[in-house]
Structure 1
C-alpha cells in the first residue's frame, strides 16, 4: 500500500476559505462573520491559531495607529510618510484605505482586553513614535485569535495548504485549496466560493547571518515561508514589487528590535570612532538617488545605505549607545520589556557576551533580506483597491481581490501597501473579508467545481516526498547523503546560497547585476528540477518540503523582478552595480509579473504609479 493511498481524505465545503491564522487571517475571520452572518467561514492554519504568525511571541508596540480621535494624524499623513520611505512607489489607494480604518481595529483590540499604555499627561495612548503606540503585548495574539475563533464556523489547525484550486468550468476563478494534516497526514480538499490568503511572507530565502549553532535564528518569523506568494504565483495571480526586499538594522546576533531604542529612548547610532553618520552622505546620496533624501523622516533604506558606507569604509563596528539613555528606572523598564515581549533571545545574547546595556553600547548589524508585504516594503499580489478612492486601473470590482477572480488577500499577501504591521494587517483582513462577502452574495448562484483528476494528481504530488524516502532510504552513501534524493533542509541551504551570492544577499554586500541575476536564475531553475526528488522521513519533514516549494517560487519572482527593474531604487536594501542610480524618468513604475500555469512562462510588465495624495 502506498503512502498516498493509506491517507484518509476530508472534503470541506464553505462560503469563504481563509488561509493563514495570523493577524490578517484573524481580521478576515472576524469581519467575514460580521457581514456574512449565515455564511460558513473556514480558517486553515498550519500551526495553531492561538500562537501563529509573526506576532506569535508577542509585541511591545502597535506600529500603525493614526490617533484620529485626538487629531494626532490623518490618513493622508500616513500615505505621505510611506511614500517617502518607499522612495515614491506605493499604492496610495490601498494605504489610505488601511489608514482610515486602522484606528477602529486598535480600539477593538482594547475592548477585547489588550492592555494599551496611556500617557498620564495627555490621556492619549502613549506613543513610541509618530505611528507607534506602546502595549503590554505578551498575549496580543491569543487575544486576537480568540475573536477569530468565535467568528469562524470551523478552524482547522495544523493543516499545511500546499496548492490553490481553480474552477474546472470558469477560467481564472479560484475554487478552493488542498493540503494535509501535519499531525495525522490526512488529505484535505477545501471548496469555497471565495478564498482569502493571509499567509506569511518569506524568511530563509536568503542565507541568514546566523548559521551553524545559530541556524534558524532570523529577525522575521522563521515559519514565514513565502506561502503568501508561492500559492498565488502558481495559479497565475499578478504580482508586484517582488524586488522590494527588506533589510533591517538590528542588534547583532540576537536580531533584537531597535525601534523603541531609537524612537522612544532617543538612543543614537555611531561608528567605532564615536561619530554620528546618518546624514553624513546626504549630498552623495542626492547625486545617485535624487531628492528623496529630503523626505521626512529620512527613508529607511537610505539610513541603511549610510550605515553600509561606514562599514565599507572600515569605520565599524556600528554601535547603538544604549548606555546614554537608560538614566531612569522607567526607561530601563521600557528597554528590557521591549525584548521580553518579543525577542527574549536578545537579552540572552547580552548576558552571554557580558554586555550590560546601561554600561556599554551594543553592536548593530544589517540583516539578510526578507520578502514581505506588511512591514516596511511592498512585495505581494497586485490587487484591486476600494471603489471610492482607487484610480480606474486600480479597481476591478472588489476591494483586495487579486487578478484571479474570487481570490482575495491581506497582510503580507498584498503588495504595494507597506507599513501595515500587525494592526494594519488585521485591518486589511477585515477589508478583504467585507469585499469577499459581497462577492459571494453577488454570485449567489455559483457553486465551485474542482477537477477530480487534478485533485488526485495533487494528492499524489503532495505525498511524493514520503514515497521517495521510502523507496530510497536504503541507498544512503553516508549520513544524509543520498544519490537519489535530497532532504528539505539541504534544499533550503542550496536556495539560500543561490540567493545570497547572486541576488544581492549580505554575502555579496547586497550587490548584484544582470550577469549575476541570470546565473542565479539558471541555478534556481536547476534547484526546482531537483525538488522533484525531495524526500521526507515524516510529516514534519513533509511540511518543510512544501514550505521549500513556496520559498523557491517566491525566490524566482524576486530574481525576475530584480532583473527587470534596471535601476537602484532602494539602496541599503539592494544595489544594481550595472544601474547604480535611481531613475525616476524611466522607472517610476511598479514592476509586475504573471506566471502562466498553462504555458509555464513568466510575463513581466509595468504598471503606472498614481499619486492620489498631494
Structure 2
C-alpha cells in the first residue's frame, strides 16, 4: 500500500520482498546497504551516496504477556526487530538512551489501548479496593505503569480503569472505537456480556520495547538527523534523543532527514564508479557468511563436552531463550521491570552465549535465513539495552528503568548515556543535554 504511492514515479525504484540486513560503510562513510531476497537466494549490494534509515524500533526482545505460541501478540509490531538499530550498532554509529525503554499500559490479555478509556470517558485508575491511585504516583505513562505494579505488589490489585457507571451511549461508542483499533477487546466484551458500563476494565503493563518515537532511544543524530556515520540519516523510531514525537513528529523528522540527505548528496563530488560494488572484499565476506547458514546441515549439532551429548537449536528456541533472559535478568514483566548490576551482568553473559549459538543455526530456504538475521538483530539490540541500563546509575523513569541498586534519580545524571562499538567492545559515552533552541552538530 505504501509502495503504491511512489511506485509509478519514474525517479523512484521500489524493491519489495527484499530484506536489508547491513550497511556498506567505508572509513565511516555510508556507501550503500546489503540485502537478501526473501524468496530467491540472491544477495543485493545496493550502492548509495546517502542512506535514510526509518525501519522503526525493536519488539520481541523481552518475554511478552503472552509467551510461547502467542509471543508476538504485543503492543508494537513484531516485524520491528530492531534491524535499523542493529545495523548502526555493528557499523560503529553512536547510539543513545537505550536504557529509556517504553512500557505501555494496556487492557489485560487483549493488549488493547487504555488511552481511549482514560481520555474518552475519563476513566480513573483504581485498585481492587476501589481507591483511585493514579494521582499518587503521577500521570505520565511510566508513572501509570509503575503505580499499577506497586499496587499489585502491595496486595491491592488487580487494578482497573473505572468504567462502571458510564452512559449507555458512551458504552456503545467505546465498543465501536475498539472494534476499529483493537477488535479483540470489543469481542471480549460481547462474548462475556459484560460491557464497560457494567464491569471495570482490568489493566496491566506490557513487556519493554525500544522505540525512539515514544522514548529517546536510537541513533545519536545532529539537528538535521545525520548520524555519526557520514551520509547516514535517521528518522522516526530509530532517531534518538527526541522523545514523544509519535507518528506526526516522525513524519516531520522524515522530511527534515530527506532534505538534509539531498543537500548532503548535492555537496559531494561526482563519484568515478558509483554503479560499482563499493567494497568487493567486504561484499564477498558477507556472501560467504550468509551461505554458511544455508549450507549448514540440519543434522549439525553443538556438542556439550560436559554433558557428553549433542544440543540442537532452532530460531524459535533461541528467541524464546533470549526473551526469558531479558525478562528475568534485565527488567521484564517477570521481575516487575526491576534489575540490578548483578542481574544485568548475568543477562550480558547469557546473551553472549545465545549469540554464539545463533552462528550455528541452519536455513533451508531464504525465509528461514531472514528469521536467523532477525534473531541476530534482536540479540545485538539486547546487548546495547543491557549496557545502557547498567551505565545509568539512577532510576529516572520508574518501570521504564527500575534500577534496584540506584532507586532514586539524581541531577548528576541530567545527561545522555550513549554508546559506540569499537574493536568489538561496546564503549559507553556521556553527552550533555541539548537545550531548547540549540543547534546540535556532532
TM-score higher than 0.5: yes
Aligned pair 1:345/2:166, yes or no? Answer: no
Q: 1:526 to 1:235 in 2, by over 3 A?
A: same
Residues 120-135 of structure 1: pairs in structure 2 closer than 5 A: none
**2:427 maps to what in 1?**
603
Structure-2 separation of matches of 1:352 and 1:235? 51
Note the residue ranges of structure 1 that are not aligned, 5 or more in a row: 1-49, 51-141, 282-292, 386-398
Shift of 1:579: 0.5
Structure-2 separation of matches of 1:565 and 1:475? 39
Q: 1:525-551 CA distances to partner (integer Å, 9 max, x unpaired)? A: 111111111222322221111111111
Give yes or no for contact 1:228–1:412 (8 Å, CA) kept in 2. no
Residues 81-230 of structure 1: pairs in structure 2 closer than 5 A: 145-151=3-9, 153-167=12-26, 171-230=27-86
What is the TM-score when the length of structure 1 is the normalising length?
Answer: 0.67
Shift of 1:485: 4.8
Q: 1:47-92 CA distances to partner (integer Å, 9 max, x unpaired)? A: xxx2xxxxxxxxxxxxxxxxxxxxxxxxxxxxxxxxxxxxxxxxxx
Give yes or no for contact 2:234–2:257 (8 Å, CA) kept in 1. yes
Q: 1:551-606 CA distances to partner (integer Å, 9 max, x unpaired)? A: 1111110000010110001112231111010011x10000000012xx11221111
Shift of 1:356: 2.0
Shift of 1:611: 2.5
**1:549 maps to what in 2?**
376
Shift of 1:325: 3.0
Structure-2 separation of matches of 1:352 and 1:537? 42
Runs of 4+ more than 4 Å apart: 351-354, 474-477
Shift of 1:505: 0.5
Residues 457-468 of structure 1: pairs in structure 2 closer than 5 A: 457-468=285-296
Please point out which of 513, 530, 541 is paired with 2:357. 530
**1:44 maps to what in 2?**
none
Please point out which of 221, 232, 236 is paired with 1:383. 221
**2:166 maps to what in 1?**
325
Give yes or no for contact 2:38–2:370 (8 Å, CA) kept in 1. yes
**1:268 maps to what in 2?**
124
Give yes or no for contact 1:485–1:533 (8 Å, CA) kept in 2. no
Shift of 1:498: 1.1
**1:61 maps to what in 2?**
none
Shift of 1:323: 3.5
Residues 44-55 of structure 1: pairs in structure 2 closer than 5 A: 50=1
Structure-2 separation of matches of 1:583 and 1:442? 44
Q: 1:367-417 CA distances to partner (integer Å, 9 max, x unpaired)? A: 11111111x2111000000xxxxxxxxxxxxx1100000000111110111
Residues 162-561 of structure 1: pairs in structure 2 closer than 5 A: 162-167=21-26, 171-281=27-137, 298-328=139-169, 331-332=170-171, 334-374=173-213, 376-385=214-223, 399-446=224-271, 450-468=278-296, 471-473=297-299, 483=310, 485-561=312-388
Q: 1:107-143 CA distances to partner (integer Å, 9 max, x unpaired)? A: xxxxxxxxxxxxxxxxxxxxxxxxxxxxxxxxxxx5x
Give yes or no for contact 1:488–1:536 (8 Å, CA) kept in 2. no
**1:587 maps to what in 2?**
413
Shift of 1:352: 4.8
Structure-2 separation of matches of 1:206 and 1:191? 35
Give yes or no for contact 1:511–1:574 (8 Å, CA) kept in 2. yes
Structure-2 separation of matches of 1:173 and 1:512? 37
Structure-1 separation of matches of 2:323 and 2:191? 28
What is the TM-score when the length of structure 2 is the normalising length?
Answer: 0.92
Structure-2 separation of matches of 1:539 and 1:529? 21
Structure-1 separation of matches of 2:323 and 2:34? 27
Structure-1 separation of matches of 2:320 and 2:124? 36
Structure-2 separation of matches of 1:492 and 1:408? 30
Shift of 1:451: 1.5
Q: CA RMSD in A?
A: 2.2
Shift of 1:150: 4.6
Note the residue ranges of structure 2 that are not aligned, 5 or more in a row: 304-308
Match of 1:193, SS state, is coil
Give yes or no for contact 2:163–2:199 (8 Å, CA) kept in 1. yes
